[in-house]
Amino acid sequence: MFGPLISKPGSSKSNKTGSWRVEIRPRFLQKNCIACKMCLLICPEGCIEGDAKNTYHCDFTYCKGCGNCAAICPKADIEMVKEETKE
């Protein structure tokens, strides 16, 4: 007989940590983006996507609003805004 023992790969995605975001969230301006990928590299949640310039954005289902993407962006093309702000 077996009880809880092993977990399925990547199953954490069912845990929507976006709800943890209470104060601020990033806004990807997609104006001066040079596609340096730094935001994508630095995101602790690994929830940023993008390929070409000005295509980078994050998945708010998981984004915890830490602000590192905004901090690292060489073009200040990401800004942190109040959670409530509408796009």
Binding positions for other proteins, rule: CB under 8 A: 1-17, 19-22, 38, 41-47, 49, 59, 61-62, 64-68, 70-72, 80, 84
Question: Considering the rule CB under 6 A, would residue 31 count as an interface residue with ligand SF4?
Answer: no
Which residues, 6 or more positions from 18, have their beta carbon under 8 angstroms from its beta carbon?
Answer: 59, 60, 61, 62, 63, 64
**Which among other proteins, ligand SF4, none contacts residue 3 (Cβ within 5 to 8 A by kind)?**
other proteins
List binders of ligand SF4 among 67-86 (CB under 6 A).
67-69, 72-75, 77-78
Planar angle of CA 70, 60, 56, nearest 5 degrees: 50
Rg (CA), the chain: 15
Task: Say how far apart CA 74 and CA 47 lie, in whole Å.
Answer: 19
Please report, as ranges, the residues that interact with ligand SF4 according to CB under 6 A. 26, 33-39, 43-45, 47-48, 56, 58, 63-69, 72-75, 77-78
